[in-house]
Structures are given as C-alpha cells and as structure tokens.
Structure 1
Amino acid sequence: MVNLLRQRPATLGELTAALGSTKGTVAYHVRVLRDAGLVRLAGTRQVRGGTEQRFELVSKGFRLAEDAGAGFLLDAAKAEMSPARAGDPGHTVLRHLWLTTDEAHALAQRLDALAHDPDGTATEETEAYGLLVSLYRADTPRLPVEG
C-alpha cells in the first residue's frame, strides 16, 4: 500500500483494485497508517451521494533515526526486488569510499537530492525501479599508508 501511495494520492477504491483486496481490509490498513502518522487525507470530493476520500503519504521516502538499524529498509528493498530480466538496467554495488567529513556531508546532500527528485512520476510507459541509498560510517579497519 505504501508503494502504491508513493506513486500518487489514491482513494480506497483505487487501492482496493490495485491490491486485489477488500475495501474493509484496505480501509483498516489505511487507518493504521494514518494513526502511525505515515498517511494523511489529501482531499475529498462528492460522488453519487457520498464522499470519496483520497489519501497520500506524509513523505515519499523513509529516513531512519540515527540509532535505528537499517534492517527494515534492507528487508523491504530485498522483498520488492523482482528477478532481473535480460536487458534490465539494474545495478547493485557495495563498496567503501574513503572521505573526509566534509566530503561525506557533500555526498550525503547530493544523494538526498537524487532520492527526492520529483520527476519520478508513474505513467503508462514507465516501470518502478527501486533506489536504496545509504551513506554510513563503515566499521572497516584501515591498512597503513604505503611507504
């Protein structure tokens, strides 16, 4: 449901259809997400004598608290990864960068701007690609400088 609402605000009916679930189940989960402060009411409109509600995420991204582990985000990314198809542009790499504190701050700002780029809107021609960005101080021993 969160991944659907990342695309755009949606009604209970739209969420129900996309998830192939029941309206009651979807409404329950929307209420749980609202109570947790992750989803809010984006607007209402009158339809056939009733009021249709449209819901949106409070934020399209998640930022972990400094003392939280990254396991939740890593598990979420792993769970939504589809098997690679021939010609897919996917790219996953883990490496260490040796940076000064100022360089790390500058890189974090660049990554934050990329992760919050508003141009990633769903259309009939587009497919979803995940972007998991993490810049962290690694617990990696340092080799002595060659001399």
Structure 2
Amino acid sequence: MEEPLTLSSPAQFKALGHPLRHRMVNLLRQRPATLGELTAALGSTKGTVGYHVRVLREAGLVRLAGTRQVRGGTEQRFELVSKGFRLDEDAGMGPEFLVGAALAEMLPADSGTVDHTSLRHLWLTADEARDLAERLEKLDPGRRDAANPGTEAYGLLLSLYRADIPLLPPEE
C-alpha cells in the first residue's frame, strides 16, 4: 500500500484549503484525469480549473501523469502524488484543518434520510488508545467504487483524541 504524503508546508495547506481544489483532490482520488474531465465534473471553466491544478502542482500534491496528442494539441492527464495525506505533527495545522475540510464537503441531509453524524466518547487506557489508532490506520481507504451504479461518496472523519471531559467523584 502506498504511504500517505505528509503535509507540512504552508503552500500545501493553502492549496487544500480552497473548496474547488479540495473537490479536485477528491476527483483525482478516483483516477487520473484531464483538464477537460475535471472541468466537466466540477462544472467550471477550463481556465479556472487549469489555474487550480497549477496551484496543486506547485504545492507538490498533483503531478503530470502523462500526455497524448489530440486534434493537433497535447492533452495532459493529472494525478495525485499520493492517494492519502497525513498531517505533519509540527505543521502548526491540526484537527481544525481536517474538520473544516469535512464540513466543507458535507452535504445537508435530504428529507427522509438519516443523518449519520454523531459524536461518541470511549473510555480507554493509553495502551488501548494506541492499539485502536494503529488498527484504524490499517483500514484501507483506497476502495474506489465511484464507477459502480448506485454508490454515493460518504466522508469518514476519524479522530482519536484525548477529550477534555472531567470525572465526577464516585457516588457516596
């Protein structure tokens, strides 16, 4: 399995912080794509998409996957340098960046559908927390079912953190 890219530079966070570039990254997680394919999927213009691809390339998040000749021109296909990203512990950006990204792509629940968003707390020892974090890290986020009819994209934001929840004294 490919190692996730560790995000550490301000340029990388700035690139991923723009909603259109965030959506482009989600498209490129499915497969490499041309500017025309990205433009059609995003409902944007080729000039706008080209600019945002350039920002992602300069930040080291996207690379040229290949070219081919079409009708007297050259078509470029772009891909992510890594399908997964990890935050550098010293980057100065943390969970708020990930939560913001998740909120930006979260669609409102349709009427009649169940909202699956919830906040839960687990009471664990330090060893149990470390074990759970390692098990979650091994989950394969690479499953791509975008081409299968009837499937929809769902985001999964996992964060295992020590919560600031005080303990009540034992009941007397």
Matched position secondary structure for 2:65: strand
* Structure 1 unaligned spans of 5+: none
Which residue identity does 2:61 align to in structure 1? Answer: L
* Aligned CA-pair RMSD: 2.2
Report 1:1-147 matches (<5 A): 1-67=24-90, 68-86=93-111, 88=113, 90-114=115-139, 116-123=140-147, 124-144=149-169
Separation in structure 2 between the aligned mates of residue 19 and residue 72 of structure 1, nearest angstrom: 23
Separation in structure 2 between the aligned mates of residue 51 and residue 32 of structure 1, nearest angstrom: 20
Greater relative contact order (Cα < 8 A, sep 6+) = 2
Counting aligned pairs with the same residue, the percent is 75
Separation in structure 2 between the aligned mates of residue 10 and residue 99 of structure 1, nearest angstrom: 43
* Structure 2 unaligned spans of 5+: 1-23
Q: Aligned pair count?
A: 146
TM-score by length of 2: 0.73
* Runs of 4+ deviating beyond 6 Å: none
Separation in structure 2 between the aligned mates of residue 66 and residue 88 of structure 1, nearest angstrom: 37
Mean alpha-carbon deviation: is it higher for 22-31 or for 56-65? 56-65
Which residue identity does 1:18 align to in structure 2? Answer: A
Separation in structure 1 between the aligned mates of residue 50 and residue 162 of structure 2, nearest angstrom: 40
TM-score by length of 1: 0.83
